Amino acid sequence: MITIRKINDRVFAGIVAGVGANLLKTAIEHAAYKKGYTNQTGLQKAGGFFMSARHVNTPLGKLNGWIADNSVAAILGICKSYLFSLSGRDYPIVKGVALGDMSWAFAYGVLAKMGASSLQEEDPKTAFTVMISHMVFGAASAIILRSVANPNLFPRK
């Protein structure tokens, strides 16, 4: 029988959960973009925080967007880990979806509208798809976090 050791560090467990869940978020956004349903992805938007819109789709621009998006995912995973430490690990999907939605509202509603990203225009389908992908990210990161982290890190409240 194979046993997997649980992660005993809140920060590392959060990073694993955030980056792992970001794979699913990115897949949803990429599929919608490839099907022509949306006009941009989270990776493109993340790249737009650091460069002009004309550079976002270059190879280096895509790499920059990927690194930026995964860095934010890791930070959100760490935040979720500490949220679980403060509030307990019960209701992980509710807490995950809430944090995912808050991150979407802040990044795409507040920061982007303040001009932080060079990619400004979003149609309703893109906005809706990205909101859904962030909710899925939140739920998935919560599930991954509960799966990989030592339960003693998150006391029952």
In sequence order, what DSSP letters do the residues of 111-147 get, joined into one string?
A: ITTTT-SS-----HHHHHHHHHHHHHHHHHHHHHHHH
Q: What is the pLDDT of residues 57-110, one digit of tens each?
A: 999 999 999 999 999 999 999 999 999 999 988 899 999 999 999 988 887 777
- Give start and end residues of each alpha helix (H) in the chain: 10-34, 42-48, 59-87, 92-104, 124-148
User: What three-state secondary structure class fits 7?
Assistant: strand
Give yes or no for residue 118 having a pLDDT over 70: no
Model confidence at 29: pLDDT above 90: yes
* Whether pLDDT at 119 is above 60: no
Mean pLDDT of the chain: 89
Q: Give the pLDDT of residue 21.
A: 98
Asked if 47 contacts 64 with a C-beta cutoff of 8 angstroms, the reply is yes
How high is the pLDDT of residue 138? Answer: 96
Instruction: Let me know: does 119 contact 48? Beta carbons within 8 Å.
Output: yes
Which pLDDT does position 104 carry in this prediction? 85
- Report whether pLDDT(47) > 60: yes
Is residue 115 scored above 70 in pLDDT?
no
pLDDT for 3 equals 75
Distance CA 91, CA 84 (A): 10
Residue predicted with more confidence, 147 or 123: 147
Q: Which residue has the higher pLDDT, 42 or 20?
A: 20
| Mean pLDDT of all residues in 45-60 | 86
Q: Calculate what percentage of the chain has a pLDDT beyond 90.
A: 64
Q: What is the pLDDT of residue 4?
A: 80
Q: What is the pLDDT of residue 111?
A: 66
